[in-house]
Structure 1
């Protein structure tokens, strides 16, 4: 797998819960590296048959996976009847346990979301083929401005000073049995200069 550029050093956060905490006001900013270099060339493994025909196709597959994940995360965050374990259909095997734990923590806080998160300006960092499976990394801005946080009493507890557009980096992988179907493998909140505030 082609390495991500050296400046890629974000503070690890699960996107669904991180976004909620940002809306609530419970996530403090962290110091980090300068804004990521946005000129990395996506590449495919030269010795393997490319899974995607182009960079555009790889980006489209990653965005589709992210949006599917985000939709299911929203279902879990807004509907107490939806089990957190349902996120397993949209993430890699290694990301399931942490994702479920984070959603359960959200439930313990007694808050639900009203509204919709949006993905803005997705940009492909790289993609590759390894052992018959695809790997991809993208930059994306997560817009939470349309989301309100409501507590168990029905009161709006959305923080007035929240960060409404959050810079993120997301990694995806596929299985060799379904190589063109990407799953979310990790999502990180960028801790350096905000590339979404251009």
Structure 2
């Protein structure tokens, strides 16, 4: 079952915080040396958003009619920290020509990944796939998107064939708190000074 989508609302304000988070176990010795063990192979991402204007009626279409109900409704639907939703980060959701894997002549399913600098990690939830390429040649069929984030071929790509794709993805997230402050600061107008959520492991 696909989680609900986080709404795109005109009343969202700057700034936006995005915090990649790792977990490292560190043991310090009396000599000053350290032993460090990484506990996460890939980071979790924490987001913090601010909404300066949410409309509780349809009288303020510039803020999105009933935008309060859209955001508050998602929070209630998720029951705070319990449920998950899909957040499409406006600046980090599209990959073009992303290398996915190299075929081995046997494997038919490959997880979607994205590369930032020299770091490659799996993506949380692929929303759509525009193109799939084998050694740069666009494929018109023979593949499907398997929810949430696998590229599945009817026949396994040949050995040493580079598999790449153009796709849109979202972060599967949960809210960080079981309560949040929705402030009614003027008739029909609301704001949320801090809404925090974090990604979950696929």
Could you say whether these structures have the same fold, taking a TM-score greater than 0.5 normalized by the shorter chain as the test? no
Larger Rg: 2
Q: Which has the higher contact order (CA 8 A, sep 6+)?
A: 1
TM-score with structure 1 setting the length:
0.27
Higher helix share: 1
TM-score with structure 2 setting the length:
0.27
Higher strand share: 2
